[in-house]
Amino acid sequence: MKGAEAIVKSLEEEGVKHIFGILGGAIMEVYDVLYDNKNIRHILMRHEQCAAHAAEGYARASGKVGVCMATSGPGATNLVTGIADAYIDSVPLVAFTGQVPMHLIGNDAFQEADIVGITMPITKHNFQIMDTDDIPSTIKAAFKIASTRRPGPVLVDLPKDIQQKKLKKRFHYPNDVELPGYKVVKSGGHPKQLKDIANVLMNAEKPVILAGGGIILSNASKEILKLAESLKIPVTTTLMGKGCFPENHPLALGMVGMHGRKVANLMITESDVLFAIGVRFSDRVTANIEHFAPHAKLIQVDIDPSEIGKNVDVNIPVVGDAKLVLQNLISITNKLKAKKKTKWHDKLKKFKKEFSPVYDYDTVPIKPQRVLKELNKIIDDRTIITTEVGQCQMWAAHYLNIKNPRSFISSGGLGTMGFGFPAAIGAKVAKPDFKVIDVGSEGSFMMTGQDMATCVIEDIPVVVVLLDNRYLGMVKQWQDLFYEKRRSHTYLGEVPDFVKYAEAFDAKGILVEKPSEIRPGLIEAIKSNEPFIVDIRVDPDEHILPMVQPGGRLDKMIEVGSL
């Protein structure tokens, strides 16, 4: 068996059904084997960055490891942004890259790049295979590392001669591999710490649960719901945790942070206990750390010990898997009686009534709030929302009511413009029976929009909803708020016509300019079962507010009418 055959065989043994990629000279041996393969569907993307983001979307929608593939040199370096995005958002991903033959490595050969060195800071681990007999065990290790403990991306670099040479031994794909220094131990937390947490939560008068992406990664949404309901504790989420707790629930506060809901920010600020689980306390969540939950006893649960206390001081730290920790905690709290929190719940109701998002705008140009109102009516339990990055992302995060995990997919830590569209492609491949809608903007969409060709050729019917204001919206908002409205190089102009853009790819497009056209346009796009762009012209001067000023406090938000 040739190395290339062993690579594809290993992927089959690992249960891989989909690969997103683009071939080139240094990876052609693998693609030649894929030509005859009937078990793995390869989706030919139009840019390697899109291949990585599509693999991310696939992983986040399915819970499986996403796989992308590229050739050496520029093909490999084009994957870097997607790999970095997956790393900071803890997405399980395995990226395969072609490489020049071993005897040319280090000689500045044609299309050579040290992709192992380049990606070392942004992968959990990476490999360069130097012996054909190492192929099965290396690929097994890559998938194990990507999917266990705190998930993340792993890169496997494949010199061309390794793909061409035959294995010296008979092919054998192992059930598991031992990795020195890497132990997969699922901890449910230390019993004493869990008892301490239970007592603190039971006796708290103003507790809040802060749920992050770790809840989704560990499939712990049922457990967080059970704990919150049993102890009657309000729940707020980070951007990455959005969907882990149903946002139509009476205890739901919505998203916290710079562009979070005011009720969430105020409840955290006034809390006496903050139970954070699967959260890394990024600056977009905490704002000014000195004023973050200033009266609260902080409890942090995370599977990654390096995150405990990294950004905020913690009173009770727990290293463990979110699902197991919650299950153990629930078994303890079920035996105890919680203190009534009547005043706290009264405050929650008061804040919700006073600070609920306002959707009912009926003006021209269209307000983005109105678009999200109509979208809220359409999404259901079989809908996945992806987002681009910028104002459109924050409109979606703030205004959409998401009820289920793995149904809201957005670039969190890296904030990668162009993420949403290819992520939607990956999500649709993973969940073909779901509606997949990318809430985007023209600035972000144009960075990866060429993969509309992938949607058409591969029959992947995703819907792109553009909140089209012809600006780099979030940068323009900061210019308006903090730079005296000096809009330096943020106006994009009136090009392109997105209906014609869609039609050029043999996709469908529609222009929406009145509020009454929004819902019919969305329904037409979804029912078409074709790749579709809904270009909605929105007010270019509308800001996503309230907003916490950079370096500001969660309880001191810039609000509509305060400018």
> Residues 80, 34: one domain?
yes
Active site residue 111: yes
Measure the CA–CA gap between 112 and 296, rounded to whole angstroms: 53
The answer to whether the peptide bond before residue 365 is cis (omega within 30 degrees of 0) is yes
The total domain count for the chain is: 3
In a domain? residue 170: no
Model pLDDT for residues 193-241, shown as the tens digit of each residue? 999 999 999 999 999 999 999 999 999 999 999 999 999 999 999 999 9
**What local confidence, expressed as pLDDT, does residue 458 receive?**
98
Active site residue 513: no
In a domain? residue 169: no
Measure the CA–CA gap between 238 and 495, rounded to whole angstroms: 35
**What local confidence, expressed as pLDDT, does residue 186 receive?**
87
Measure the CA–CA gap between 225 and 232, rounded to whole angstroms: 10
First to last CA, the chain: 69
**Of the residues 48, 56, 223, 247, which is catalytic?**
48
The secondary structure element, H or E, covering residue 325 is helix 322-333
Report the share of the chain in percent with pLDDT over 90: 97
**What local confidence, expressed as pLDDT, does residue 363 receive?**
93
**Of the residues 258, 474, 547, 557, which is catalytic?**
474
In a domain? residue 336: yes
Average pLDDT for the chain = 97
Active site residue 28: no
In a domain? residue 360: no
Model pLDDT for residues 321-334, shown as the tens digit of each residue? 999 999 999 999 99
In a domain? residue 467: yes
Q: At 339, is the pLDDT very low, low, confident or very high (cuts 50, 70, 90)?
A: confident
In a domain? residue 182: no
In a domain? residue 85: yes
**What local confidence, expressed as pLDDT, does residue 337 receive?**
84
**What local confidence, expressed as pLDDT, does residue 562 receive?**
63
Does the structure show a pLDDT above 70 at 122?
yes
Measure the CA–CA gap between 154 and 133, rounded to whole angstroms: 20
> Residues 417, 532: one domain?
yes
Rg (C-alpha) for the chain, rounded Å, is 24
Q: Give me the DSSP letters along 253-284.
A: EEE-STTS-HHHHHHHHH-SEEEEES----HH
> Residues 338, 375: one domain?
no
Handedness of CA 246, 252, 258, 262 (dihedral sign): positive
Domain boundary among 322, 355, 388: 355
In a domain? residue 186: no
> Residues 97, 226: one domain?
no
Expressed as residue numbers, the domain containing 454 is 368-558
> Residues 346, 386: one domain?
no
**Of the residues 28, 111, 347, 513, which is catalytic?**
111
Domain boundary among 327, 355, 383: 355
**Of the residues 9, 160, 206, 476, which is catalytic?**
160
Span 131-148, mean pLDDT? 98
Does the structure show a pLDDT above 70 at 276?
yes
Cα of 440 vs its chain's centroid, Å: 15
Model pLDDT for residues 343-365, shown as the tens digit of each residue? 999 999 999 999 988 888 899 99
Measure the CA–CA gap between 507 and 509, rounded to whole angstroms: 7
> Residues 122, 35: one domain?
yes
> Residues 329, 199: one domain?
yes
> Residues 409, 260: one domain?
no
Domain boundary among 164, 199, 216: 164
> Residues 229, 134: one domain?
no
The CATH number that applies at residue 387 is 3.40.50.970
Model pLDDT for residues 57-110, shown as the tens digit of each residue? 999 999 999 999 999 999 999 999 999 999 999 999 999 999 999 999 999 999
**What local confidence, expressed as pLDDT, does residue 225 receive?**
98
Span 491-501, mean pLDDT? 97
> Residues 315, 374: one domain?
no
Q: At 563, is the pLDDT very low, low, confident or very high (cuts 50, 70, 90)?
A: low
**Of the residues 110, 205, 354, 377, which is catalytic?**
110
